[in-house]
Amino acid sequence: MQLSSQPTPLVLDVGSALLANISASSVDAAAGGLNCSVADSSIASLQSAANWSAVGEGNWTVSMQLMGHKFGWTDLSCTDGAASGRLQLTVLQPSGPLDIAYRVLLILFVVAIVFCMGANIDLRVVLRLVKRPVALSIGWACQFLLMPHLGLAVGQLLLLALAQFPDLPVPNALAFGLLTFSCSPGGSGSNMWTYLLDGDLDLSMTMTFFSNIWAFFMMPLWLFAYGRLFIESEQVLIPFDQVAYTLLQSVVSLVLGVLVRHKWPRVGKKLTKAIGPLSVLFVLTVAGFGSYVYFYLLELLVKFPIVIPFAGMLPWLGFLLSYLITMAFRLPRPQSTAVALECGVQNAGIPIQLLLFSMAKPEGDIASIVPVAATILTPVPLYFTVAAYRIWKRCKAGEDGEGRSGSYELKGVANAGVEEDGEAEELGADAAAPRSGWVARSRHTQV
């Protein structure tokens, strides 16, 4: 049986009604007409059906009122007893004041954190690293060549896993969210983990600075090249103008922060201390307020838990493969640590903001589940790594007390002494304090 509807497709909001005209062909007139029903009455229901009319032999039209109850997908089925057909029915969660407030907060947090990250950059350290760009070049390759292709591969595996869930009509949106997350620049959380693992802190912060600038060019490139593998043009259009706007917003904030640090060093030093608290507030906002606003999406994640391991697989493989690549190039361990952490810890605010603002509902909402899940799962292996590393340091220190001194040597281009209270000392012209002072305060942050 062939079914068609007006409007097409059948889409309505939660709590709203939709008047649809359904046309059916090849109906057995002897069967007495059509019998229509909604497969999942918890998502939508058929309120009434009227104006049945026969249009020629074996053709019928009917007007029906559908009511949306909760976010999801179901089928409108019609049968004459001998044959049947079905149409997909989509129920969306309408945007409300809380949804708008969450999106505004998301923009403000991303702009504020990236601005403070810029104020944390010492241009003299950046120039010193640029003069010998071996580690920066390897880090760039891992960030913008390895990670997007890793996201592409994991996304394809996710699609294969989701093939066993025919009830999910847009699995490609989840895979596209994974690809978007893999193309994102590094987040400031990588600086904290680099500090805890005695990595090259100068290299880590310089990579964070450059990756946010390079993302303006590389992120649209990879989304254009590989996005079509996940999102069909008939289903969702990737608005590259919105992608560019989101990234430009981030780059401008970063550059302004660098200028503030250059013109007013004291102000820049104070701004760096805000990165930790802002990052904590960002994570709490996404996990708390965001979960409340988009609770219906969490229900979807519970319904399809297969997404969770794939969301964690991307950053975890990023840590491992980036570290192996840097070791193959014989970079010192502190630099290898910094590169691996920079590639695995992504700036989650950018892909979440991009997906929510740039894509239509429900694809954008569904795709944003992956960056949120990946952000929560990213630090899981790092907790164990830091614990094991500290135990190893204490065992190696033995009885001389080095492991119990409460201070750590930061191996970078310019070493910075860090006091036990987390405040860095000023070391001449290198001014190491802004590079490490905030890190000691933000041991539980990640962006």
CB 212 within 8 A of CB 400: no
Contacting residues for 239 by C-beta, under 8 A, at least 6 apart: 358, 359
How far apart (Å, rounded) are the C-alpha atoms in residues 170 and 172? 5
pLDDT value for 319: 95
Instruction: List 63's β-bridge partners, or say none.
Output: 21, 50
- What does the DSSP 8-state code read for residue 286? I
The three-class DSSP label of residue 79 is: strand
How far apart (Å, rounded) are the C-alpha atoms in residues 115 and 299? 34
How far apart (Å, rounded) are the C-alpha atoms in residues 346 and 212? 10
Instruction: List the domains of the chain with CATH numbers.
Output: 2-92 (2.60.40.10), 97-441 (1.20.1530.20)
pLDDT value for 430: 43
Q: Per residue in 122-132, pLDDT tens?
A: 788 888 888 88
181 C-beta neighbours (distance < 10 Å), count: 32
Amino acid letter for position 63: S
Q: Is 188 exposed, middle or buried (0-12, 13-18, 19+ CB in 10 A)?
A: buried
Pairs from 266-273 (Cβ < 8 Å, separation ≥ 24): 267/119, 268/119, 268/120, 268/434, 269/119, 269/433, 269/434, 269/437, 271/115, 271/116, 271/119, 271/120, 272/116, 272/119, 272/120, 272/434, 272/437, 272/438, 273/437, 273/438, 273/441
pLDDT value for 416: 40
pLDDT value for 447: 36
Q: Please identify every stretch of the chain with a pLDDT value under 70, giving residue numbers as ranges.
A: 26-33, 49-58, 167, 169, 232-243, 246-247, 399-447
Q: Per residue in 315-362, pLDDT tens?
A: 999 999 999 999 999 999 999 999 999 999 988 878 887 887 777 777
Q: 84-92 and 17-25: which strand pairing?
A: unpaired
pLDDT value for 50: 62
- What does the DSSP 8-state code read for residue 379? T
The three-class DSSP label of residue 416 is: coil
How far apart (Å, rounded) are the C-alpha atoms in residues 268 and 118? 9
CB 182 within 8 A of CB 344: no
Distances (CA, A) of 222 to 50, 150, 182: 50, 12, 10
Query: Residue 95: enclosing H or E segment and its boundaries?
Result: none
Amino acid letter for position 83: A
The three-class DSSP label of residue 424 is: strand
pLDDT value for 157: 93
Amino acid letter for position 127: L
pLDDT value for 28: 57
Greatest pairwise CA separation for the chain in angstroms: 96
How far apart (Å, rounded) are the C-alpha atoms in residues 21 and 1? 16
How far apart (Å, rounded) are the C-alpha atoms in residues 328 and 342? 17
